[in-house]
Amino acid sequence: MSLLRPRAAGGESPVSAAMLQVRSARKTFESRGIVGLGRGESIQAVRDVSFDLAEGETMALVGESGCGKTTLARMVVGLETPTSGSITFEGRDLSTLRPAQVRQVRRRIQMVFQDPYASLNPYHTVERIVSEPWRAFPDAVAKADRPARIREILRLVGLDDRFAERFPHQLSGGQRQRVGIARALAVEPRLIVCDEPVASLDVSVQAQIVNLLRDLQDRLGVAYLFITHDLRLVSHIADRVGVMYLGKLVESGATEDIYDRATHPYTQALLGNVPLTHPWREDRPQFVLGGEVPSPADPPSGCGFRTRCWRADQRCADEEPALVDRLGHPSACHYASFDLEHGATTTLPKERT
């Protein structure tokens, strides 16, 4: 039995207005190459991605390793700058703000990192780690109030006062990630970007952290951009899902629509890889997706997924499908369909070049 509490069906954002707007975002990395052996390459990590996120909502970005979801997350929090496109938070285009204005926006956007072992300074106590954001934003909490506030935040994430004086090596993996969440909460953000926040934890601990994030959202109204490759978790925390492949969104929609009525073959393949022990997998075929993800330095013409897709034909090579409404929600497939065709487990198209 799963320790995760089921997400209520039809979860809608409590506020319809978009707090975060990403429009046509691109990120290209230029590699220099090896001196004397030719020019470098342009790595297209994120390609023309657009989506909205409302207050108090959770959107999950899912996909295989290297699909661009973490790069996109780093762009949202300001750790990477978009090559083109725009990111607007609470009505302000981040690319047009002065440094002082950017600092104030960054206070309202925090991040929980994947590795709770690497993201905490081993030489600092939990108390100092949680208070780190106040060094950047000293007006967030008065100095006299900080000791009490630290303990209040620790209790909020399920840690009692005794943990304040401990060091990271004295904590379990789950406790360390709770400290990472506490640090993110210290400046009362409105958006927390969670980059694979439970990937390095045991399954039972993963459930505890996901349930904690949901409880915090219910209490504080914070929004999450939840980055993960694990679709087992998404149905328990996300209101909406965006599926990324080779730097692009290929399908998006309400979580129940994606899980029950996926139309893009890549999404169907990801869902087919989830273990059969999950109840919603009972009537779905097991799926083994063949082939390798193409290089982002040299993506295929047309549809990026066509080299691994059983539906692909010449049209898929000649014409890139737009992410538009197909059968009820946006999908970037010329042949969007609810049906996972028989024999699709290992079949690859002839048009592979």
Alpha carbon distance, N-terminus to C-terminus of the chain? 44
Strand partners, 93: 88
pLDDT digits (tens, 9 = 90+) for 248-277: 999 999 999 999 899 999 999 999 887 655
In this predicted structure, the answer to whether residue 38 has a pLDDT above a threshold of 80 is: no
User: What mean pLDDT do residues 93-122 have?
Assistant: 89
Label residue 10 by pLDDT band (50, 70, 90): very low
CA distance 216 to 194: 13
Tokens of 181: 């969440």
Q: Which helix (H) or strand (E) holds 58?
A: strand 58-62
Q: HSE-up of 152 (CA within 13 Å, CB side)? A: 10
What are the residue boundaries of the structural domains of the chain, listed by start? 45-238, 245-331
Question: Which candidate, 83, 106, 107, places its Cα nearest to that of 94?
Answer: 106
182 Rama sector, left if φ>0, alpha if ψ -120 to 50, beta otherwise? alpha
Cα dihedral sign for 119, 124, 126, 130? Answer: negative
What is the 3 state secondary structure string of 155-197?
HHCCCCHHHHHCCHHHCCHHHHHHHHHHHHHCCCCCEEEEECC
pLDDT tens sequence across 269-325: 999 887 655 555 556 666 678 888 999 999 999 999 999 999 999 999 999 999 999
Measure the CA dihedral 173/176/180/182, to 10°.
130
In percent, the amount of the chain with pLDDT more than 90 equals: 68
Under CATH, what is the fold of the domain 45-238?
A: Rossmann fold (3.40.50)
Identify whether the C-beta of residue 79 lies closer than 8 Å to the C-beta of residue 245.
Answer: no
d(CA 196, CA 114) in angstroms, rounded, equals: 5
Question: How far apart are the C-alpha atoms of 178 and 243, rounded to whole Å?
Answer: 27
Q: What's the rounded mean pLDDT across residues 96-125?
A: 89
Q: What is the pTM of this model?
A: 0.88
Pairwise CA distance, residues 140 & 133, whole Å: 9
Answer whether residue 15 shows pLDDT above 90: no
Compute CA distances 316 → 45, 104, 294, 306, 349, whole Å.
21, 45, 15, 6, 11
pLDDT for 228: 95
User: Rounded to an integer, what distance in angstroms lies between the CA atom of residue 78 and that of residue 216?
Assistant: 24
Instruction: Tell me how far apart the alpha carbons of residues 181 and 126 are, in angstroms, rounded to a whole number.
Output: 12
Taking the C-alpha atoms of residue 351 and residue 347, their distance in angstroms, rounded to an integer, is: 12
Pick the range with the lowest mean pLDDT from 31-35, 116-120, 161-165: 31-35
Q: How far apart are CA 233 and CA 207, in angstroms?
A: 8
Q: Which residue has the higher pLDDT, 114 or 51?
A: 51
* Both structure tokens of 165: 């004086």
12 pLDDT more than 50: no
For all residues of the chain together, what is the average pLDDT?
Answer: 88
- How many Cα neighbours within 13 Å face the side chain of 160? 1
**pLDDT of the residue at 3:** 53
Query: Both tokens of residue 98?
Result: 């002065």
Residue 1: the pLDDT is: 36
Distance CA 104, CA 109 (A): 9
